Amino acid sequence: MSKVLIIGAGGVGSVVTHKCAQIPEVFSEICLASRTKSKCDAIASQLDREISTAKVDADNVPETIALLKDFQPDLVINVALPYQDLTIMDACLESSVNYLDTANYEPRDEAKFEYHWQWAYQERFKEAGLMALLGCGFDPGVTNIFTAHAKKHHFDRIDTLDIIDCNAGDHGKHFATNFNPEINIREVTANGRFYEKGEWKETEPLSVHRSFDFPEGIGPKDMYLMYHEEMESLAKHLPEIQRMRFWMTFSQQYLTHLRVLENIGMTRIDPIVYQGQEIVPLQFLKAVLPDPGSLGESTKGRTCIGCVLDGEKDGQRKHYYIYNICDHEQCFAEVNSQAVSYTTGVPAMIGAMMMLTDKWKDQGVFNVEQFDPDPFMNELNRHGLPWKEVILDGKPDVLND
């Protein structure tokens, strides 16, 4: 029986709240807080049990501390913006509350996301006797746990890892993003990076692509090499891996719109002066694009996210693929959200469960691959994200150079 405070009432926050509410034996009391309390109230009205709601500006540490001291949670689940990770961690330290998030910190004025800002909190959380769990969404999150599971059960040594993320859904809009448009576009327009033989190598944005034949009828999709934060923590905690890459699928329609927006300056994150006021073009664009939380009802199709690994077991080469397929319409029927929010929100709930039931327990700042993957993997199957694994005859040619 535990009290949990969820900060953030977007698409992911909605899923986390729904899923926590389904398990009262673990999440006995829930408070959902956001800058806009009406969003929290709307989510609360969809539930079969009562929760409390609150207004909080997560950029304001004293205001966040006041809410923590009033509600006195055992754990904060941070599904607000990545810009707010450090302020929420500061508030948790001041209030002696454990912490969990789904995406690592990035500064507002630079499209750069790295773990070092949060890893720097290690000693402070350890000395306070608190635990912070970072990156407990799907990617990062489940993909890290898939890798830890593969290492524990299938490999003596992992040589290469390719994380492949396919959203084969269709929301029917000319252009929309399936999670926060500002974060999505900053991520996609940044340089690609991959890890090889102990070094990071950069590529031009979306300049490297492959086609991959996704399972269970999804079929061939074009996917593009990007940088994603789980590679940073996996390179630290599984240094044996010689090469790591992250791939994501995009439709040509999405890419065409993105190129036009980029070419005319609408993806800029530096402020400009318009009619005497400073505005950030990307933030303005976010305001006119569809809210990702509104896409659930219209989105059809499936996502497929997983890991392809190559390595050695008992002296033999082994090629292995582990993945989850998630259906947009089924997600909406259950929690009024599309699958991109669902695949991030469910792992956040499970990570919270791992912490609150002491299956994952330590003091300091941790990434999910540092813990036993087995109990988490079991809960994925129970709570809507079943996984499948396949031993491949050989590594897919598309992932070999």
Q: Which pLDDT belongs to residue 243?
A: 97
Q: pTM for this structure? A: 0.92
Mean per-residue pLDDT, 131-145: 97
Our CA dihedral for 283, 166, 147, 104, rounded to 10 degrees, sits at 0
Structure tokens, 29: 């009391």
Q: Which pLDDT belongs to residue 358?
A: 97
What domains are there in the chain, each with its CATH number? 2-134 (3.40.50.720), 142-335+386-399 (3.30.360.10)
pLDDT, tens digit (0-9, with 9 covering 90-100), for 298-326: 789 999 999 999 999 999 999 999 999 99
Q: Which pLDDT belongs to residue 72?
A: 98
